[in-house]
Structure 1
Amino acid sequence: MSNHNAPQIILFNKPFGVLSQFTDKGTEGSSRPTLSQYINIPGVYPAGRLDMDSEGLLLLTNDGRLQSHIAEPKYKMPKIYLAQVEGHIADAEMNILRRGVMLKDGMTKAAKAERIDPPILWPRNPPIRVRQSIPDCWIKLTITEGRNRQVRRMTAAVGHPTLRLVRWAIGDWTLDNIEPGTWKQA
């Protein structure tokens, strides 16, 4: 006999432009894509959020304690982001990201930050706006907080706005072998 109360963990690769919720509580007549178009499992809910204009790993679970453990900053679960940023980021700017960045809502905690080669990812739809006169580069940022739009605000604060943002991992869970718009059970 199977246990229907066993904790379920769903790893979902959230595409660009999809809301991190099952219904669109936006404006009347709004029809933004939601999780319900991709996941039809009763009783699971997102553990944390991922902005509509960000892509990548979103965890869903039916276990409230696990949900808060994943989402609550007090548990310091590391989240790894791959960010394509405008310009070439200098060592001094990387060091600021590592030490912590002063934002309007206070100083961020120290982060792991490194420049990386462009990762092999799926094409984004729609593609980022490319400006021939402005180069870009990729960084990998590991944070243990989850402030609203934190990675985007951190890169902008050091002069390098984020062009594309992909959450690659939360704790030990990663996007390995999960195509955009698809999910698997952990």
Structure 2
Amino acid sequence: MPVSPPICDVGWRAPPFALPGTDNRTRTLDDIRGERGTLVMFICNHCPYVLAVLDRILRDARDLQALGIGVAAICANDAAAYPQDSFENMKTLAEDRAFPFPYLHDESQEVARAYGAACTPDFFGFDSSLGLQYRGRLDASGRQRAPEDTRRDLFEAMKQVAGTGRGPADQVPSMGCSIKWKAA
């Protein structure tokens, strides 16, 4: 069943983190922070919503990095229950698809909980001082890719954040598979 995150809590502060990356480097929020904003995405390897738009995620990340936006992706799914989301499989995907951003592993799920991540994909777009400005969708795609000429919601929102420090007033929530939480 698809899940959508809550509406953007404008100004909410990005929680710090230090997580291992698929490049064997530990990255902190300060490491990925961009001069004009920061995008933190929660994705995973197996989600059909992520897989349907992964090429668009990679395209938009590259385009946003060119605008001074720092970008990272985090996988927080329970890899014991979903082996496709294991750290080794994360490394393979990041290498095979030439991720232009750090792909980080939140094995404890503490970072996902701190962010209130709800689904994959879940996008958190912050301004240059790490205040939340966008928590919306990539574009109109769902489990199936939207047409090529579909408006690039995430890119346009973060471009606006880079230029003005503020996200759009109207935001459409992302939709995807729920985060696969570990049993309590």
Query: What TM-score comes out, normalization by structure 2 length?
Result: 0.28
More strand by share: 1
More helix by share: 2
Q: Which has the larger radius of gyration?
A: 1
